[in-house]
Each structure stands twice: as C-alpha cells, then as structure tokens.
Amino acid sequence: MEDHAPPFSRTVAVESVGEAGSNVRFSATPAECERLAQLDELVALRDLTVEAQLTRRGREGLFARGRVTAVVTQTCVVTLDLFETQVDEPFEIAFAPEAEAKAAYERAMAELEAATDKARLLAEQPDPPDPIIDGRIDLGALACEFLALGLDPYPRKPGAAFEGHAEEDEPASPFAALSKMKKD
C-alpha cells in the first residue's frame, strides 16, 4: 500500500487568523526531515523551520510572509566531499478561495499565451494566488517548495575549484593537450 501523505504538512485554518493577523512558527520532525532529504536528493536535512506572519486578504483570503530555514548536507560537484550549508529562503504568497485562485491562474496563462515577449511578462506579472482548499492553507507544503528553490542545483563546497589541465596562455583544445604531452 502506497503512502500518499505529504512529506511535510502544517495546515492553518483561514478562520483562525483574525483581523490583527497571526504569527506562526513550526519545525519539521527528524522523520519529516529524512523524507524531505530523500525527495530533494540530499544527503541529509536538519533544523527545518518555518516562520510566517499571516494577514487577512479581504474577507476570504490570506497573505503569508516569512522564511524557511534549514541545514542541508550535499555532495560537492567538484570534490565529491560532503558539506553542510544553510538554506534561508524568504517567501510572500497570497492565498484565495479555490475558484478565485483558479480563475486568476487561467487569466495569467491566457495573458502569457497571448504575449509576444513571454520572458518580460513572466518577470513583471505577479504570481496568481495559491488556492485555499477546504478553508485551509498548507504552510508545510509551501515550505517544501521554497526549500527546493533555495537549494543549489550544482552544490560546491566553499573553496572548491575545478582545476583543468589547460594552462591559461594555451587554448583549451585536445590538440593543445597533445602538443604539451609531446613537448614533455
């Protein structure tokens, strides 16, 4: 039987956030960190924490501003050594009722499809709100996304440098390497 539970979930009921807003802080358990490390292909993950300020956005929406922090262990792409690094990703996300969020997403996609300069539109266009599902938002799922965004896809241990065989004055070509070998 497959486990379809999300690797990290912390839901907040929209109705629990008053007019003055709400501050939330939570951390992942060691088991959740282990599942997230596997999901993000990390050697290890620890100290995953989420801090957020939630404010009302109209009668039915929310706005979340905060940060995701964690310590990750990755493998250096240059030396293959393991090393730890700190992830600290800020986020600002609007949430709206499901139908409103879906309509905003569809409008954004239609504008993108019609645009001649898609890259510029993507850079300038605000993200559509995330959906509120069954009156709740999932800050844990949001944390998973921002953790992944904060990871370096080509992690390099501090101080690690790739050292090629070509000298600076010589062109980096196979023939230059053969010529150097012939001289030696």
pLDDT tens readout for residues 8-46? 999 999 999 999 999 999 999 999 999 999 999 999 999
Q: Provide the pLDDT for residue 165.
A: 53
Q: Mapped to the 3 state alphabet, what secondary structure does the chain carry? A: CCCCCCCCCCEEEHHHCCCCCEEEEEECCHHHHHHHHHHCCCCEEEEEEEEEEEEEECCCEEEEEEEEEEEEEEECCCCCCEEEEEEEEEEEEEEEEHHHHHHHHHHHHHHHHHCCCHHHHHHHCCCCCEEEECCEEEHHHHHHHHHHHCCCCCCCCCCCCCCCCCCCCCCCCHHHHHHHHHHC
Mean of pLDDT values over 54-60: 91
Q: What average pLDDT does the structure give for the chain?
A: 87
pLDDT tens readout for residues 122-162? 777 788 899 999 999 999 999 999 999 999 999 988 877 76
Domain ranges of the chain: 11-96+130-155
Q: How far is CA 24 from the centre of its chain?
A: 19
Work out the pLDDT band at 176, boundaries 50, 70, 90: low
